[in-house]
């Protein structure tokens, strides 16, 4: 879809980079967290990476793809062992 063509129907009527809106002014997002260390200190706050999404929507058939805005930060967290919870 990023190339301007719908992979489902072939249309070029694409609404691109539309930000997603959530309820209560909180947009949908993904979050991955640092795993808990084996000898966790009494006070411990896990590091995390988060990303909101943008959507590409086909105006002809409605097919939609979502892309993480901060995908590189999410991938760096994944490499460090962060997991979705």
Write out pLDDT tens, residues 39-75: 888 888 899 999 989 999 999 999 999 999 999 999 9
**Is pLDDT of 36 > 90?**
no
Would you list the domain boundaries of the chain? 1-15+29-34+58-85
- Rounded mean pLDDT of the chain? 90
> What's phi and psi for 17, nearest 5 deg?
55, 45
**Is pLDDT of 34 > 70?**
yes
How far is the C-alpha of 63 from the C-alpha of 61, rounded, in Å?
6
**Model pLDDT, residue 80:** 92
**Model pLDDT, residue 25:** 64
Q: The whole model's pTM is what? A: 0.76
């Amino acid at each position: 879809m990023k190339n301007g063509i719908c992979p489902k129907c072939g249309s070029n009527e694409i609404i691109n980079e539309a930000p997603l809106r959530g309820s209560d002014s909180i947009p949908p997002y993904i979050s991955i967290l640092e795993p808990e260390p084996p000898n966790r200190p009494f006070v411990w706050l896990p590091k995390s990476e988060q990303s909101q999404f943008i959507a590409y929507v086909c105006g002809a058939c409605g097919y939609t793809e979502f892309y993480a805005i901060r995908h590189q930060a999410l991938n760096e967290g994944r490499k460090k062992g962060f997991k979705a919870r």
